[in-house]
Amino acid sequence: MQEPQTTGIQRRLWSFHGGIHVPDEKALSTGRPVARAPLPSLLTIPLRQHIGEPARPIVRVGDWVLKGQKIAEPEGWVSTPIHASSSGTVVVIEDRPIPHPSALVAPCIVIRTNGLDEWAKLPKPLDNYRELDPALVRERIRWAGIVGLGGAAFPTSIKLDPGPRLPVRTLIVNGAECEPYISCDDMLMRECAGDIIRGASILMHLLHARECLIGIEDNKPVAIEAMRLAVAESDIKESTRVCTIPTLYPSGGEKQLIRILTGDEVPTSVIPAQIGILCQNVATLAAIAQAVLAGKPLISRYVTMSGRGLRAPRNFEVLIGTPIADLIRAAGGLAGDVRKLVLGGPMMGFTLDSDQVPITKAANCVLALSEEEAPDPGPALACIRCGKCAEVCPANLLPQQMYWYARSKDLEKVQDYNLFDCIECGCCAQVCPSHIPLVQYYRYAKTESWAREREKRAADRARARHEAKEARLARLEQERKDKLKRKKEALSKKPTAGKAGDGSGGTATTEDPKKAAIEAARKRAAAKKAALAEQGIGPKNVQGLTPSQQRQIDAAENRRQAPAAATTKGTGED
Amino acid sequence: MLIAITAIAVLATLFGLLLGYSALRFHIEGDPLADQIDAVLPQTQCGQCGFPGCRPYAEAVARDEAEINRCVPGGEALVLTLADLLGKDPLPLEAGEEKPKALAVIDEKECIGCTLCIQACPVDAIVGAAKQMHTVIAGECTGCELCLAPCPVECIHMVPIAEDSRSWKWPYPAPAADTELRPSTA
């Protein structure tokens, strides 16, 4: 690609370690323009399409919902809301199969569409976002349910708020789209370059970034041209550069693209904001522009339908929740020998068990691969220690060492070799002459480590609770003993006190503390009665009675005296 | 000869005093080894090892009075960890095989509110009061099964924890038979 007229010389580029050249196969799906996928009769919208907590439904079965209406609220900070992708009725909220390598079910809201595609009342566009508090704009992005559309699906509003201690100087726009077959970002850049640049402009303002670098692989000349034009017409043309980068898988990895465009290495277990960089996918930027400047939530995305197993591969604009089976039909249906359905690219995607799962926010590509495209690699052979995997690893890891340790389930050791810096790009497995499924070993080791970590946290909590219970039981026991001791002491003190108090009246009864106590109480009562009698106050329960009470007393008295019938009547009067 | 003996004796006394002083000066409270063992135990407090809780078992293992293979919830992984920690040979798990993780669930219709399970729960994961319905706090239940036995109406059941897409783990890839971990003999 020759440098076009716009800006001067090509910026200096760096290169990352490793990487591989794979046939890009993009022409399969870029021949036809993007089509709008037909409206499905049923939309299955999973409550968790992002990293973090699943959203909480705020509609009930039978509710009537409109397109763009919020149907689930975020649960906690790391979560996003979910919106209805079209108008219709909520028919059920239950566990349904979701696109996930586990092929397990997860809670989904199922909407029967009414075909009208009727919009809900949308919030006002924030055209004047430059005068608004950045927090307000971020709130709008959060409301729109925007997540990283490059595949990670991390809530974007959180990524946009790295905090005052991490100032972002460079915004990197990821249009590399390095994985074979996938062309949805390419088509988006061709058709909606303006939206992408407007989104970038919003982020430049939010983050106070000084420069914006757009990285696009040189196998997308049309997209590069469209983006250059859009930049030239935009308000950020001074600070923005469209950089053509060589086609090399995986240059679209976040850390790899940052390395290519800036020469900076993102340290291990650190986010790029730590070195003043924020990276966003082009589709995310377009969604941000739609949310801020049009008030529209994220309810659709571009999806590539490709592979030689499809009759008419192309890109679609798809409503979130559309079943993959509908898209396959829209792409001309399956052609003969389809070996497998893959969600995502051939390098990092996973095999789908069924075509009945819906498209989610993170789903960028569905592949129907034929036998010749994805031949069975055959059984894994022994590692011959050729070291090719280490040569191609874009994260500079030692895949062979990690393989040995993951294989022997030594999770600590495999983490010592920086397992968590592995981006699962699949380069090592691709070049392995023994067809060892290396990435599978790393994924196994990662999920197993996380599970151990969860168990460890649960064990720590259980230990704390157990210790708290033991401490409480010990305290209660101690309190009981103390109380008993105090009682004993009090009782053993009483008699001596009694002896000292009425030494004159000291009789044989004082020997028994109980009897002494009773005697003392009786004496106290008699003394009190006498004292009150002296003041002319009688017992309270025979004075100032109402006539009815008096009648009741008299009646009881009569009953009591009737059998005796001999005693005087004066006692009641006393 | 005498000088040599005296010198050795003096040195021995000096070093003895030094050691004695350090023993007092740098004394560590508690048993750090037992702490380390306790830190890796699963803390279910279930007593399946024959000790009344995880801490007593950790102390027994630290004193070399118990084998490292008695913790059923910890399973094989724990045996390996302990073997690594203590420099011992791993042993096969002693008591039965590993069960899938489960939670205690109280059938609330049948609960008579006797509080016996509350007293039995080692981690206070059951709430309720006398003659009131009890229930298990799912997030805190360790699945130790200690509440099952005391229940007079047998209304507590263990329900295995269902796997969801978040707790799901990538399976261990099945290695081919001829790719054993030994250097080739050719």
Q: Write down all domains in chain A, each with its CATH number in brackets.
A: 27-34+119-370 (3.40.50.11540), 377-489 (1.10.1060)
Total number of domains constituting chain B: 2
Q: Are strands A70-73 and A56-57 parallel, antiparallel or unpaired?
A: antiparallel
Q: How far apart are CA B64 and CA A570, in angstroms?
A: 88
Interface predicted TM-score (ipTM) over 0.85: no
* Average pLDDT score over chain B: 86
Q: Are A200 and A282 in contact (CB under 8 A)?
A: no
- CATH code for the domain of B53: 1.10.15.40
Tell if the CB–CB gap between B179 and A383 is shorter than 8 Å.
yes
Which among A448, A451, A465 has the least Cβ separation from residue B124? A465
Tell if the CB–CB gap between A466 and B54 is shorter than 8 Å.
yes
Q: How far apart are CA A160 and CA A199, in angstroms?
A: 12
Q: Are residues B68 and B105 part of one domain?
A: no
Q: Tell me how close the Cα of A255 comes to any Cα of chain B, in angstroms.
A: 24
Single residue among B60, B86, B112 that ends a domain in this structure? B86
Pick the more confident residue, A541 or A201. Answer: A201
Residues of chain B positioned with their CB less than 8 A from the CB of A381: 176, 178-179
Residues of chain A positioned with their CB less than 8 A from the CB of B176: 379-382
Q: Tell me how close the Cα of A21 comes to any Cα of chain B, in angstroms.
A: 26
Residues of chain B positioned with their CB less than 8 A from the CB of A434: 179
Tokens of B90: 């791993």
Residue B36 lies inside a defined structural domain of this protein: yes
CA distances from A458 to A131, A562, B40, B73 (A): 47, 77, 12, 13
Mean pLDDT of all residues in B74-86: 87
Which of A415-429, A449-463, B63-77 comes out lowest in average pLDDT? B63-77
pTM over 0.95: no
At residue A409, the pLDDT reads: 87
Q: Are residues B150 and B119 part of one domain?
A: yes
pLDDT in tens, A302-349: 999 999 999 999 999 999 999 999 999 999 999 888 899 999 999 999
A451 touches chain B (CB under 8 A): yes
At residue A10, the pLDDT reads: 66
- CATH code for the domain of B130: 3.30.70.20
Residue B12 lies inside a defined structural domain of this protein: no
Outline where DSSP puts E strands in A466-507. none
Q: Hey, of B36, B37, B43, which one would you mutate to test binding to chain A, going by the most A CBs within 10 A of its CB?
A: B43
Q: Hey, of B165, B168, B181, which one would you mutate to test binding to chain A, going by the most A CBs within 10 A of its CB?
A: B165
At residue B74, the pLDDT reads: 85
**Does residue B79 carry a pLDDT above 80?**
yes
Residue B175 lies inside a defined structural domain of this protein: no
Pick the more confident residue, A264 or B99. Answer: A264
Pick the more confident residue, A571 or B57. Answer: B57
Tokens 């566009």 locate to A125
Q: Are residues B105 and B79 part of one domain?
A: no
Mean pLDDT of all residues in A275-296: 95
pLDDT band at residue A565 using 50, 70 and 90 as cut-offs: low
Instruction: Name the β-bridge partners of A412.
Output: none
Q: Are residues B106 and B55 part of one domain?
A: no
Q: How far apart are the first and last CA of chain B?
A: 62
* Average pLDDT score over chain A: 89
Q: Hey, of A47, A98, A104, which one would you mutate to test binding to chain B, going by the most B CBs within 10 A of its CB?
A: A104
Q: How far apart are CA B80 and CA B92, in angstroms?
A: 10
CB atoms within 10 A of CB A211: 15
Residue B64 lies inside a defined structural domain of this protein: yes
pLDDT band at residue A146 using 50, 70 and 90 as cut-offs: very high
pLDDT in tens, B4-62: 999 999 999 999 999 999 999 888 877 788 888 998 898 888 888 889 889 999 999 99
At residue A110, the pLDDT reads: 96
Residue B151 lies inside a defined structural domain of this protein: yes
Tell if the CB–CB gap between B173 and A437 is shorter than 8 Å.
yes
Identify the domain containing residue B81 by its residue range: 32-86
At residue A536, the pLDDT reads: 74
pLDDT in tens, A182-198: 999 999 999 999 999 99
Q: Hey, of A108, A436, A466, A470, which one would you mutate to test binding to chain B, going by the most B CBs within 10 A of its CB?
A: A466
A336 touches chain B (CB under 8 A): no
**Does residue A205 carry a pLDDT above 80?**
yes
Helix axes A134-143, A193-207, angle to 10 degrees: 130
Collect all residues from B whose CB is shorter than 8 A from any CB in A: 38, 41-45, 53-54, 77, 122-125, 140, 142, 163-173, 175-176, 178-181, 184
Residues of chain A positioned with their CB less than 8 A from the CB of B169: 444, 447-448, 451
Which of A169-178, A328-337, A560-569, B147-156 comes out lowest in average pLDDT? A560-569
**Does residue B186 carry a pLDDT above 50?**
no
**Does residue A30 carry a pLDDT above 60?**
yes
Mean pLDDT of all residues in A149-167: 89
At residue A571, the pLDDT reads: 47
Question: What stretch of H or E contains A488?
Answer: helix A438-501
Q: Are residues B141 and B117 part of one domain?
A: yes
Q: Are residues B74 and B36 part of one domain?
A: yes
pLDDT band at residue A564 using 50, 70 and 90 as cut-offs: low
Q: Are residues B56 and B112 part of one domain?
A: no
pLDDT band at residue A8 using 50, 70 and 90 as cut-offs: very low
DSSP summary character for residue A306: E
Question: What stretch of H or E contains A476?
Answer: helix A438-501
Tell if the CB–CB gap between B165 and A409 is shorter than 8 Å.
no
Mean pLDDT of all residues in B88-116: 84
Tell if the CB–CB gap between B169 and A444 is shorter than 8 Å.
yes
Which residue stretches of A331-433 are H helix?
388-392, 399-407, 411-416, 427-431
pLDDT in tens, A373-382: 888 888 889 9
Mean pLDDT of all residues in B72-96: 84
CB atoms within 10 A of CB A79: 23
Q: Are residues B73 and B113 part of one domain?
A: no
Residue type at A353 in one-letter notation: D
**Does residue A423 carry a pLDDT above 70?**
yes
Residue B94 lies inside a defined structural domain of this protein: no
Q: How far apart are CA A488 and CA A37, in angstroms?
A: 86
At residue A335, the pLDDT reads: 85
Q: Hey, of B44, B101, B164, which one would you mutate to test binding to chain A, going by the most A CBs within 10 A of its CB?
A: B164
The answer to whether the bond into A46 is cis (omega within 30° of 0) is no
Q: How far apart are CA A187 and CA A28, in angstroms?
A: 13
Q: Which of B15, B105, B140 is nearest to A462 (CA)?
A: B140
Q: How far apart are CA A27 and CA B15, in angstroms?
A: 82
At residue B97, the pLDDT reads: 67
pLDDT in tens, A445-501: 999 999 989 989 999 999 999 999 999 999 999 999 999 999 999 988 876 554 544
Question: What stretch of H or E contains B80?
Answer: helix B75-86
At residue A534, the pLDDT reads: 81
Q: What proportion of chain B, given as a percentage, has pLDDT over 70? A: 91
Q: Are residues B69 and B47 part of one domain?
A: yes
Q: How far apart are CA A15 and CA A366, in angstroms?
A: 30
Residue B60 lies inside a defined structural domain of this protein: yes
Q: Are residues B108 and B66 part of one domain?
A: no
Tell if the CB–CB gap between A444 and B178 is shorter than 8 Å.
no
Q: Are residues B62 and B36 part of one domain?
A: yes
pLDDT band at residue A234 using 50, 70 and 90 as cut-offs: very high
Residues 386-425 of A with CB under 8 A from B: 404, 407-409
Q: How far apart are CA B32 and CA B37, in angstroms?
A: 9
At residue A7, the pLDDT reads: 47
A466 touches chain B (CB under 8 A): yes
Residue B6 lies inside a defined structural domain of this protein: no
Q: Are residues B160 and B112 part of one domain?
A: yes
Mean pLDDT of all residues in A25-45: 93
Q: How far apart are CA A176 and CA A539, in angstroms?
A: 99
Mean pLDDT of all residues in A30-40: 93
At residue A503, the pLDDT reads: 46
Pick the more confident residue, B182 or A57. Answer: A57
Tell if the CB–CB gap between A408 and B181 is shorter than 8 Å.
yes
CB pairs under 8 A between A and B: 89
